[in-house]
Amino acid sequence: MSEENPKPRSFLGKVFFLFKFLEIRLRFVAILIVTALVVGYWDHIQNYYERYQREHTAAKTELQGAPAETAENATEFYCGMHPFVVRDRAGKCPICGMDLVERKKGAASTLPEGTLARVQVSPQRIAQAGIEVEPVLYRLLTRTLRSYGVAEAEEKRISKISARFPGRVQELLVNTVGSVVKKGDPLAKIYSPKFLAASQEYVRALNSNEKDTLPSNPEMAALEKGRSQQMVAAARKRLSLAGFTEAQLDAIAENGKVNDTVTLFAPQSGTVIEKTVLLGETVEEGTALFTVADLGELWVQVKVPEADLASVRQGMPVEITTVAWPGKIFYGNVEFVYPVMDEANRTVKVRVAVANPEGQLQPGMYANAVIRSPIGQYNEEGKSAAAPKDIPLNPPSKGDSGFPTTKQEDADKYLASLKDGAEYFACPMDANVVSDKAGKCPVCGMNLDAKKRGEQVAAAPAAALPSLPTKTQEDANKYLASLGAGASYYTCSMHAEVVSDKAGDCPLCGMKLEERKREASAFAGAEGERWNAGRRAMHARCIRTN
C-alpha cells in the first residue's frame, strides 16, 4: 500500500506556525526582562506601594470619620541622599545605608541661611571616594609634574682602569663585581716585558746620574751631568705618562729594584661595577680591565614632556620614588636640562642629582619623579613678573617697612644689624623669612615665632606644642617641625592636618591613623648644601599670588 503525500500547508497556516514559534521562543526572554526590571526598580516599586498604602489608609480613615493624621503618623522618615526613599518608621536607607531623617509629612526640609544644599556622607563612603577636606590657608601655588626616569651612575664618579703596558694578568686582587674598594687599593698585577724594559731604563738613568766618575774638564763634567739628569727626567716622564703615580716612581728610585709586574691601583673609592679580565688573560695596552663607580650619588635621567619643559628650572627640588623601596622618598635637585629633544616621544631628558648614602638606589632602576614648580613667570633674577603690588620684590634693610624678608642675603643683613638679645620674628619652616614684628610667613602662611639675637633657641617644650591629634594644618606643621629626622608619627591618609604622636582614630573621619617616618629635609655635607641651596632658590622665586 503506497503512503499518501502530506497535504501542503496553506499560507495562513504557515503564518500561524511562525507566530507560535516566535511566541514560544520569546516568552522566556520577556520573563527575564520583566524579572530584571522588577529587581532593578524594587526600591521604587516598594516606595510607590507604601505611598499607595498611606493614601488608601488615610482615605479610609477619613470616610470612617476619624482624623486623617494622628501623632504617630504625622511624621515620616526620608533619606537625604535619595529623597525618593520615604518610610513611616526610623531606619536606614536601603541604597546608601545612611540613617533616615525625620520630618513632617508634606513639609520641605529647611537649610541654614546661606546653605544651598546639604550632603551627608558616611566615613566609609569618604574613604572609598578619596575625599580630602583641608582648611583654607595661604599656600604657594605650584604645578606638579609627574614623570619617570632611569637611575645611572654619575659620569664624573666613574673611573676605568686600563692596562698601561701589554702583558699577562698574573694576579687578580679584586676578582668579583660588586667589591667595594678604597682609593689606592691594589686591583691586579700584570707581567709585562715592556714595563720591565722601561723600568730598567729608568734605573740605569738613575745609576748613571749617581756615578762619581766625571770628566776632569769642568765644562764636560757639567755637560755630562746635565745629560744624565735629562735621561732620568725623560725615563721618569715616560713612566708617569703611562699612569704610574709619584709614589710608585719614588719607590723604584729608592730601592733601585727592577720589577717585571705592573700593579694597578684604584684611582678612587667606590664599587667595582664591571670586570672584563680573567686570571692569565693576555691584555694589550689600553685594554679596560675594571670600572669603579662611586654610588654615593646617582643621576636620575627624567623624561619631561615637551609641554611641561617650560616649568623646569635648574636647582628645583625633586622627589624620587621607586618600586623597590615603596614609601621611601629620595630627594634630589635638577642639575641639568639637556639641550636635545627625543623626536620619537617628544621628551627632553632632565638630569637630577640624588644623594644615595645607603646605596638603596642602583644604576638601571626605574624611578618616578615629582617636580613641583611655582605657578607664574619669572625673569632671570628669579623675580615674579606678575607679583602683587603689596609684596615687595626686594625686601629693604632694617628700618624700612618691607618685612618679612624672603631672601637669605636680606635675612643675614638684617640679623647682622641687630644687637645681642634683640628680639626679632622668624618662620620656623624657612630660615630666609625674618621680620621686625609679628605676622605670617609669606611662603608657608605659618605664624612667625619670636626669637632673640645671639641666644640659642631651645626646643619647644611639650606644653608649647599643639594638642594632639591636631585638626589644623598650622598645628600639624608646628608639630612636625619639632620632630627630628627619622622620628615616628601618625597621620590620617584622608586628612593631612591630622597628626599625632601615638596610634588612634582620626577625629574627623574615624579612620585608623597610619604610622610614618619624619623624613630629613636636607642631607649632611655637600648633599645638604645642594639641597638647601635648591630650597633657598625656590623660595626666593616663589611669590604668593593670592
Tens of pLDDT, residues 453-481: 765 444 434 445 677 888 887 788 778 77
Q: What is the pLDDT of residue 353?
A: 93
Mean pLDDT to the nearest integer, 368-396? 54
pLDDT higher for 73 or 436? Answer: 436
Which residues are within 8 A (CB) of 137 and not within 5 positions of it... i.e. 6 or more apart?
445, 473, 474
pTM beyond 0.85, yes or no: no
Mean pLDDT to the nearest integer, 376-403? 44
Q: What is the pLDDT of residue 302?
A: 95
Tens of pLDDT, residues 529-546: 444 444 444 444 443 333
Q: What is the pLDDT of residue 238?
A: 72
Closest CA to 270 of 184, 343, 337: 184
- Please report which confidence band the pLDDT of residue 370 belongs to, taking 50, 70 and 90 as the band edges: very high
- Rounded CA separation 154/132 (Å): 40
pLDDT at 146 over 90: yes
pLDDT at 496 over 50: yes
pLDDT at 498 over 80: yes
- Rounded CA separation 244/163 (Å): 11
The 8 Å CB, 24+ separation contacts for 106-112 are none
Closest CA to 162 of 332, 16, 291, 27: 291
Identify whether the C-beta of residue 230 lies closer than 8 Å to the C-beta of residue 152: no
Range in 24-33, 107-116, 297-306, 362-371 the model is least confident about: 107-116
Tens of pLDDT, residues 499-534: 888 888 888 777 788 888 776 443 334 444 444 444
pLDDT at 395 over 50: no
Q: At what angle do helices 11-40 and 42-63 cross, to 10 degrees?
A: 80
- Rounded CA separation 543/375 (Å): 9
Closest CA to 270 of 402, 398, 179: 179
Q: What is the pLDDT of residue 381?
A: 43
Architecture of domain 161-293: Beta Barrel (2.40)
**In the chain, what are the domain boundaries?**
142-154+299-310+320-368, 161-293
- Rounded CA separation 538/443 (Å): 10
Range in 313-327, 352-366, 431-445, 480-494 the model is least confident about: 480-494
* DSSP-derived secondary structure letter, 467: P
pLDDT at 340 over 90: yes
Closest CA to 221 of 235, 205, 203, 209: 209
Architecture of domain 142-154+299-310+320-368: Beta Barrel (2.40)
- Rounded CA separation 436/451 (Å): 10
Mean pLDDT to the nearest integer, 397-401? 43
Tens of pLDDT, residues 192-236: 777 767 676 777 777 666 654 555 556 666 676 677 777 777 777
Range in 104-108, 298-302, 400-404 the model is least confident about: 400-404
Identify whether the C-beta of residue 408 lies closer than 8 Å to the C-beta of residue 431: yes
Cα dihedral across residues 161, 164, 170, 173: positive or negative: negative
Q: What is the pLDDT of residue 524?
A: 39
Q: What is the pLDDT of residue 115?
A: 65
100-120 as b/e: b if 16+ CB within 10 A: beeeeeeeeeeeeeeeeeeee
Question: How many Cβ atoms sit within 10 Å of the Cβ of residue 524?
Answer: 12
Range in 3-17, 135-149, 268-282 the model is least confident about: 3-17
Determine the residue type at 195. F
Strand, helix or coil for residue 3: coil
290-329 as b/e: b if 16+ CB within 10 A: bbbbbbbbbbbbbbbeeebeebbbebbbbbbebeeeeeee
Range in 19-33, 148-162, 327-341, 352-366 the model is least confident about: 19-33
Any alpha helices (H) in 363-433, and if so which ranges?
408-416
Tens of pLDDT, residues 29-85: 888 888 888 888 887 787 787 777 777 766 666 666 555 445 556 788 888 777 777
Closest CA to 328 of 301, 355, 296, 297: 355
pLDDT higher for 115 or 98? Answer: 98
- Rounded CA separation 145/302 (Å): 11
pLDDT higher for 78 or 336? Answer: 336
Tens of pLDDT, residues 253-311: 777 666 777 788 888 999 999 999 999 888 888 888 999 999 989 999 999 999 999 88
